[in-house]
C-alpha cells in the first residue's frame, strides 16, 4: 500500500476511540479520498486497525452511501480509441485479457481485477493508454503487461 495509505492507518490506529462509528467513517472518508473507493484489501486493513467486526464495517458502508465500495481490488480502464489502436492498443488489450483471464462481465478469473474500456481517454498524445487504479500508463510502460500487473499487485 502507498505511503499515504500507511500514514492514514498509522494515525487512526493510535486513536483511543478508533472503534467508534465517527472515527471509522472518518477513516473510510480519508481512504476514499486517497484511493477513490474502498477496496477489499482496504476493508481488511480497516478491520485490523479499528478492531471492529466485518459485519459492523459493512453496516457502516451501507449507512453512508457516499462511501463507495469496490468489489474488485484493481480497476483497469483501457482505451479502444483509434489513436491508441494504431499504436498496438488492441494487441495490448488482448494480452491483458488473456493474462488476467477476463470474462464476459469484465472481471478477471481471480476476481481481483475489473476491466472496462473507453473510446478515448483524452490522452491521445501518449497513446497507447490505460488507467490502472486511476494512474495512467502509456506507450512503453504497457509493452510488458505481465510484469506491470505483477508490480502493481506487489505494491498493494
DSSP string, 83-135: HHHHTTHHHHHHHHHHHHT--TTSB-TTS-EEEEEES--S-GGG-SEEEETTE
**Cβ atoms 96, 137 nearer than 8 A:** no
Cα angle 73-131-74, degrees, rounded to a multiple of 5:
5
Helices (H) and strands (E) in the chain, counts: 7, 4
**Cβ atoms 89, 81 nearer than 8 A:** yes
Of the candidate spans 33-41, 64-72, 117-125, 145-153, the one that interacts with ligand FES by CB under 6 A turns out to be: 117-125
Considering only residues 127, 132, 137, 149, which one is a binding residue for ligand FES as defined by CB under 6 A? Answer: 127
- Residue 123 near ligand FES by CB under 6 A: yes
Of the candidate spans 28-36, 96-104, 109-117, 118-126, the one that interacts with ligand FES by CB under 6 A turns out to be: 118-126
- Residue 129 near ligand FES by CB under 6 A: yes
Minimum CB distance to ligand FES, residue 117 (Å): 10
Minimum CB distance to ligand FES, residue 89 (Å): 7
Minimum CB distance to ligand FES, residue 97 (Å): 17
Residues of this chain that interact with ligand FES (CB under 6 A) are 79, 81-84, 120-121, 123-124, 127, 129
Amino acid at each position: 500500500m502507498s505511503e499515504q495509505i500507511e500514514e492514514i492507518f498509522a494515525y487512526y490506529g493510535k486513536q483511543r476511540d478508533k472503534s467508534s462509528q465517527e472515527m471509522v467513517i472518518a477513516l473510510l472518508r480519508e481512504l476514499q479520498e486517497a484511493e477513490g473507493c474502498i477496496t477489499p484489501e482496504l476493508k481488511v486493513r480497516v478491520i485490523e486497525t479499528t478492531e471492529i467486526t466485518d459485519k459492523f464495517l459493512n453496516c457502516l458502508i451501507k449507512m453512508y452511501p457516499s462511501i463507495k465500495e469496490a468489489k474488485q481490488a484493481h480497476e483497469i480502464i483501457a482505451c479502444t480509441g483509434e489513436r491508441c489502436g494504431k499504436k498496438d492498443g488492441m494487441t495490448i488489450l488482448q494480452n491483458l485479457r488473456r493474462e488476467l483471464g477476463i470474462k464476459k462481465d469484465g472481471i478477471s478469473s481471480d476476481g481481483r481485477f475489473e476491466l472496462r474500456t473507453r473510446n478515448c481517454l483524452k490522452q491521445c498524445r501518449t497513446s497507447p493508454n490505460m488507467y490502472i487504479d486511476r494512474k495512467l500508463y502509456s506507450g512503453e510502460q504497457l509493452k510488458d503487461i505481465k510484469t506491470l500487473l505483477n508490480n502493481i499487485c506487489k505494491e498493494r
